[in-house]
A and B are shown apart, each in its own frame.
Chain A
Amino acid sequence: MTGVLRSEWTKLRSVRSTWWLLSATVILTVGIAVFLSPGGTAGKPASPATFARSTEYGSVLGQLALLSLGVMVFAGEYHSGMIRASLSVVPRRLLLLRGKVGAFGAVVLAFSLATSVAAFVFGGLVHQPHGGRAHAWFGDPQVTRIVIGAGLVLAVTGIFGLALGAIIRNTAGGLSAITAIFFVLPLLLRLALPSSDQGFLRLLPSNAGGALWNASLSPTSLSPWTGFALLCGYTAVLVAVAAWRLRHGDA
């Protein structure tokens, strides 16, 4: 297993698109957090709720970059034909899948946590009113939840993209699918459903994860960790489907 993990890390680091997309994640998340970071009123730090907003906007776009990376990592193997080389040297297919998910997940998790911490810190540093800090610092448990949570959600979303790439096996198809699921579907449903039925929206993958950084705990969203668990559930289902497809199909 360690061999496969090292191999997958080599594959990730040796391709330019990985670094482009990871940089895009950082720039989008941190950049937007900095721009939208709310300053507090004089002397009083901004509440976690207002701060969460900026992290959310940044993370949504960061999610897109990580989803794309996930799709490309797997679908790219099919596109270039590399999957045949990979499967001929690791004929135990589930081992390959575990290695890919493990290596990709580890890289993306480390990156996402670093990114969300950076977004938080830089957002705070930029908007400092004369006197105290712009917003709550790490002592506040809600802040910790939002920051760590943002990192976790980004990472799990990346794995969601990876599993989708494994199922669809086509880069363009995978990218279309993630755009549809994460951006088009919520929008369509919000417009299509009558406002009383909007509760359904909180179960969508994009919003379920978003509960984790929703500091205001509004009634329309799931409780933070429930939402995250739901997102993990969606991802787990996709990974299971990918595993089934990989195991029983032709290369």
Chain B
Amino acid sequence: MSVLAAESPVNLTLGIDARRAHPTEGWSCIVPSATSGVLPTPQVAHRRGQVGPRGRFAALTAAFTLHSFRKKATREGEQPDMIEVENLSKRYGDKVAVDGLTFTVSPGVVTGFLGPNGAGKSTTLRMIAALDVPTSGRVRVNGRDYRSSPAPMAELGLLLEAKAVHPGRSARDHLLAIGQTAGIGKARVDQVIELVGLGDVARKRVGGFSLGMGQRVGIAVALLGRPGTVVMDEPVNGLDPEGVRWIRALLRALADEGCTVFYSSHLMSEMAQTATNLIVIGRGRLIADSTVEQFIAKTTAASVVVRSPEAPRLRGLLGRPGVRIVSDGPDLLRVDGVTPEEIGTIASLAGVPVFDLRVERASLEEAFMQATQDSVEYKAAGSESL
């Protein structure tokens, strides 16, 4: 018995156009417990204003009629989706790929998974999906080993390597074959194909697909069962900017619906915009498990940038023990240890004109490089040796 909701009457298209229906309509990320027997209902209550008029009407109707079901479902005390990793280790012969990792990925936020190449990210993700057997420790998806999941496709949507497809098969047949294991029919398959933008090439052989198209097939496989937990390894790999924005919107929408979203990426700027929580690993070990802001704040120092034509005078005014000031050009100061409010007040009291006053935080990329510089596995030689 699959836990999939009935097909939503509103077309499930996802776009940046706010007038279109909400991308995850008809998709609830709270998986009812096996005993309640209640199908998941459309999460319509707290959208972020992205629903058009038709969608709103449907939302209100659905909310009214299914309100009681929602209450019942939560009363049964179902397990919210999450991923729990406990002391996970994996070694291949002598090489330790993953060493005592412990973290929890919670629902409702996008969690990013960072680490240098060879840090053990893919190995960890494979162990979450029960594709590899841990040497020690355990992984739990929704409170149990994924292998004993009663409805695997509705619980976990996985994208590991997009081109894990037989090259001679068409995209549609591949999705059909995957979906049929969970009783998912042609209608849903066609819907997901449209969702990922492969409508025109669905019946062509996957062997002829470009990198981005192959990636979209993998994303389609992950989304096919309307899973409560989505795990993706480098989803934006090979996608054009429109695709990157689409993934960002999709992941955020899924998290808003209450799904657990866990994805790894090397695109720091993108991850800084998309993820709320971060898990950083290096050489198989956990380096950080916090929010993006906390990670950046802990790893790098923020400084206040002041631009003023009378910078040297301002420098003199601000100098005191515990404050570090760096002059960066004739009119630019970088100040550490004074708040922008204080600088503004001092400057205004002394009559020093200030043209730019802002806090400059390090980027996620800088924070990441700082945190993992000792854990890089494969370090390229510098450009001097070229």
State the A residues within 8 Å of B (CB). 3-4, 6-8, 10-11, 14-17, 76-77, 80-93, 248-251
From residue A68, how far is it (CB to closest CB) to chain B in Å? 15
Count residues on chain B whose CB falls below 8 Å from chain A CBs.
Answer: 36
- Does B204 interact with chain A (Cβ within 8 Å)? no
* B131 partner residues in chain A, CB cutoff 8 A: 84, 87-88, 250-251
When distances are taken between beta carbons in the complex, the residues of chain B under 8 Å from A89 are 152-153, 178, 181-182, 221, 225
List the B side residues contacting A86 at CB < 8 Å: 178
B177 touches A84 (CB 8 A): no
Bound form: Cα–Cα A4–B178 in Å: 9
Q: Are B168 and A17 in contact (CB under 8 A)?
A: yes
Is B160 in contact with A84, judged by CB distance below 8 angstroms? yes
| Distance in Å: Cβ of A219 to nearest Cβ of chain B | 48
Which residues B150-167 have CB closer than 8 A to chain A? Answer: 152-153, 156, 158, 160-161, 163-167
Give A95 to B117 CA distance when docked, in angstroms: 34
B170 CB–A CB distance under 8 Å: yes
Contact between B133 and A250 (Cβ–Cβ < 8 Å)?
A: yes
Chain A nearest CB, measured from B328 CB (Å): 50
Does the CB pair A80–B164 fall under 8 Å? Answer: yes
Q: Determine the distance from Cα of A17 to Cα of B205 in the docked complex, in whole angstroms.
A: 14
Q: Shortest 3 CB-CB distances between A and B: which pairs?
A: A14-B173, A81-B164, A251-B131
Shortest CB distance B166–A (Å): 5
- List of A residues within 8 angstroms of B221 by Cβ: 85, 89
B160 & A3 in contact (Cβ 8 Å cutoff): no
Interface 1/0 per residue, B128-151 and A, CB below 8 Å: 011111000000000000111100
B333 an interface residue at 8 Å Cβ cutoff? no
- How distant is B218 from chain A, measured CB to nearest CB, in Å? 8
Q: Are A3 and B164 in contact (CB under 8 A)?
A: no
Q: Whole-angstrom distance between the alpha carbons of A92 and B170 in the complex?
A: 26
- Given that A87-B131, A251-B126 are known contacts, is A10 also in contact with B180, CB under 8 Å in the complex? yes
Instruction: Please pick, from B160, B165, B183, the residue contacting A80 in the complex, using a CB distance under 8 A.
Output: B165
Beyond A7-B180, A81-B163, A92-B147, list 12 extra A-B contacts (CB 8 Å).
A3-B182, A7-B178, A11-B177, A17-B168, A80-B166, A82-B166, A83-B164, A89-B152, A89-B221, A90-B181, A91-B147, A251-B126
Tell me whether B19 is interfacial, beta carbon within 8 Å. no
CA distance A161 to B179 in the complex (A): 27
Q: Does B169 contact A (CB under 8 A)?
A: yes
Q: 9 A-B residue contacts at CB 8 Å?
A: A6-B180, A10-B173, A11-B173, A15-B169, A85-B178, A87-B130, A88-B152, A89-B182, A91-B149
Q: Is B176 interfacial (CB 8 A cutoff)? A: yes
How far is the CB of A244 from the nearest CB of chain B, in Å?
A: 13
In the complex the two chains form, is A88's CB within 8 Å of B165's CB? no
- Residues of the B chain whose Cβ atoms lie less than 8 Å from the Cβ of A3: 180-183
Inter-chain residue pair count (beta carbon < 8 A) = 92
Q: Are A76 and B158 in contact (CB-based, < 8 A)?
A: no
Max chain A Cβ within 10 angstroms of own Cβ: one of B148, B153, B168, B183 = B168
Q: Which of A82, A88, A90, A248 is B133 in contact with, Cβ under 8 Å?
A: A248
Interface secondary structure of A, over-half rule: helix
Chain A residue with the shortest CB-CB distance to B168: A15
In the assembly, what is the distance between CA of A93 and CA of B133, in Å? Answer: 13
* Residue of A4, A88, A91, A250 with highest tally of chain B CB at under 10 A: A88
CB contacts under 8 Å to A, within B175-213, are 176-183
CB <8 Å contact, A85 and B165: yes
A233–B267 CA distance with the chains assembled, in angstroms? 54
C-alpha gap A82/B129 in the complex (Å): 15
Tell me, rounded to whole Å, the shortest Cβ–Cβ distance linking B184 to chain A.
9
| Closest B residue, CB atoms, query A81 | B164
Residue in B closest to A14 when the chains form the complex, CB atoms? B173
**Are B181 and A82 touching (Cβ within 8 A)?**
no
Nearest CB of chain A from residue B22's CB, rounded to whole Å: 26
In the assembled complex, which residues on chain A have CB atoms less than 8 Å from the CB atom of B156?
A: 88
Q: Which residues of B contact A90 (CB under 8 A)?
A: 152, 181
User: How many Å from the CB of B369 to the closest CB on chain A?
Assistant: 31
Partner of A14, one of B130, B147, B164, B169: B169
Q: How far is the CB of B170 from chain A (nearest CB, A)?
A: 7
Among A15, A76, A86, which residue has the most Cβ atoms of chain B within 10 A? A15
For A85, the chain B residues whose CB sits under 8 A away are: 164-165, 178, 221
Residues in A whose Cβ lies below 8 Å from that of B182: 3, 89
Inter-chain contact B166/A15, CB cutoff 8 Å: yes
Q: Which residues of chain A are near B168, meaning CB under 8 Å? A: 15-17
The residue on B at minimum CB distance from A249 is: B133
Known: A3-B181, A7-B177, A89-B182. A14 touches B170 (CB 8 A): yes
Tell me the complex Cα distance, A25–B19, Å: 57
A17 to B167, CA, bound (A): 12
Inter-chain contact B181/A4, CB cutoff 8 Å: yes
- CB contacts (< 8 Å) of A11 on chain B: these are 166, 169, 173, 177
- In Å, the complex CA distance between A87 and B152 comes to 10
Nearest B residue to A4, CB-CB: B181
Q: Distance (Å) between the CB of B92 and the closest chain A CB?
A: 9
Cα A92 to Cα B179 with chains together (Å) = 16
Instruction: Report how far A4 CA is from B165 CA in the complex, Å.
Output: 17
User: Which of chain A's residues have a CB closer than 8 A to the CB of B178?
Assistant: 7, 85-86, 89
In the complex, A251 Cα to B127 Cα: how many Å? 10
When distances are taken between beta carbons in the complex, the residues of chain A under 8 Å from B148 are 92
State in angstroms the CA–CA spacing of A93 and B131 once bound together.
10
Q: Which of chain B's residues have a CB closer than 8 A to the CB of A10?
A: 173, 176-177, 180
Distance (Å) between the CB of A233 and the closest chain B CB?
Answer: 30
Residue pair B129, A91 in contact (C-beta under 8 Å): yes
What is the minimal beta-carbon distance from B179 to any residue of chain A, in angstroms? 8
The chain A residue with its CB closest to the CB of B141 is: A91
CA distance A42 to B79 in the complex (A): 81
> Which B residues touch A88, using CB under 8 A?
129-131, 152, 156, 158, 160
